[in-house]
Amino acid sequence: MSSTSSKRVVLAYSGGLDTSVAIGWIGEATGAEVIAVAVDVGQGGEDLDVIRQRALDCGAVEAYVADARDEFATEYCMPALAANAMYLDRYPLVSALSRPVIVKHLVRAARQFGADTVAHGCTGKGNDQVRFEVGITSLAPDLACLAPVRDLALTRDKAIAYANEHALPIETTKNNPFSIDQNVWGRAVETGFLEDIWNSPTKDVYSYTDDPTFPPVEDEVVITFEQGVPVAIDGVAVTPLRAIQEMNRRAGAQGIGRIDIVEDRLVGIKSREVYEAPGAIALIAAHAELENVTVEREQARFKRTVGQRWTELVYDGQWFSPLKHSLDAFIADTQRYVSGDIRMTLHGGRAVVTGRRSDTSLYDFSLATYDTGDAFDQSNAKGFIEIFGLTSKLAAARDVAFGNGPDLGTQQL
């Protein structure tokens, strides 16, 4: 490790053009040494050792690399699964979930290498700048934040010119029309012709999913959960990471998890996004159905409100906030009895639950059946209805007495 007497900046490094150029760009603009931080959250692509060497070749004085796939799956994706987190009821927080784990490693590297500033490659109009900077200052209030694209005018054209001028070991091209972010929980695609919201996604937009129009034969899968966490698929034990990977493969083959949405960004604009999240969508569907079987009614009703607020906080970059921490405790408590098996059919873009079983089930066959063996005492219903409707009945009587009764219209029955 070199001396820490110089000013140092930690940079979230992807290995791509923009962040490779940012290493030298930051150095020239600020006079600081740059430490590149690459975090693998299941995005695929190049080996971490290759990315580490590229960062050094592009001028970084140090390169911190971390295989965070298991950490991401267990500590970030599983809480999202427990919350059934779906922003706008459709988006399972693909990018938003990965930012806090990257932030944690950025702060760790800043401490390790004596940096006082953390840099990221986000623009000034997206959500990620907020997620990175709020996360960083929540974990380390003393650290400053820098965004070369936003703060130092590093445009893509300038990045390509800089890379060519300095002969950086990175491919430079203007041909890819999309901005793509992916990890084990899913894949996000934006910009290019997708910015015209009348345009349909073309086949080349998708990578994690096959076309659901011509699916293979249906695939039946049994997912076993323990306290809200998938622990086996078809009887074979799995880690959280392996569960997501396996469901990505099987649900992806059936075209499950394609999402095309105009969403409300935190910065106030609407943005067209295309996502692929086959494993996330299938696992959330299975988990939510197991909760229907095992979570008490009033607890379940309130959890839906908590889950929505939890999702909004994570989308808005508040992973490390006090409210998020408190909601975590509630959600974790609701998972105590969410154990059992869910059978699903995967086919033609749909994940359909066809069976449920649990030792902690609140479903009582003898109470639910209408056939012989019915243990539900129907004679109790009359008194229950009288009491349940009493407050509404009293209010309605008052309305009638003061001439404010309901308007039933004039149509003859």
Catalytic choice (54, 99, 250, 272): 99
Q: Please indicate if the annotation marks 202 as binding a ligand.
A: no
Known binding residue 190? Answer is: no
**131 annotated among ligand-binding-site residues:** yes
Q: Of all helices (H) and strands (E), which one includes residue 403?
A: none
Residue 12: which H helix or E strand, with range?
A: strand 8-12
Asked whether residue 165 is marked as a ligand-binding residue, the answer is: no
Is 405 annotated to bind a ligand? Reply is: no
Task: List the catalytic residue out of 6, 111, 156, 179.
Answer: 179
Q: Catalytic site residue 99?
A: yes
Residue 18 assigned as binding residue: yes
Choice among 18, 69, 98, 258 that is catalytic? 18
Known catalytic residue at 196: no
304 is in an annotated binding site: no
Residue 253's Cβ-side half-sphere holds a number of Cα atoms within 13 Å equal to 12
What residues are paired with 348 via a beta bridge? Answer: none
Q: Tell me: is residue 13 an annotated ligand-binding position.
A: yes
207 is in an annotated binding site: no
Task: Identify the H or E element spanning 103.
Answer: helix 94-113
- State phi, psi for 88 to the nearest 5 degrees: 55, 30
* Residue 123 labeled ligand binder: yes
Is 208 annotated in a binding site? The answer is: no
- Tokens 């059919």 correspond to 345
d(CA 280, CA 351): 11
Which of the following is catalytic: 8, 95, 128, 250?
A: 128
Tell me the sheet residues that pair with 260. 274
Q: Does 361 carry a binding-site annotation?
A: no
Torsion sign across C-alpha atoms 99, 100, 104, 107: positive
Residue 15 labelled as part of a binding site = yes
CA distances from 184 to 102, 176, 249, 280 (A): 14, 22, 11, 9
155 is in an annotated binding site: no
Query: Phi and psi dihedrals of 400, rounded to 5?
Result: -65, -40
What is residue 276's three-state secondary structure? strand
Structure tokens at 55: 């960062």
- The binding site comprises 12-20, 91, 121, 123, 127-128, 131, 179, 263, 275
- The binding site for ATP comprises 12-20, 121
**Which residues are the active-site residues?**
18, 99, 128, 179
- The binding site for L-aspartate comprises 123, 127-128
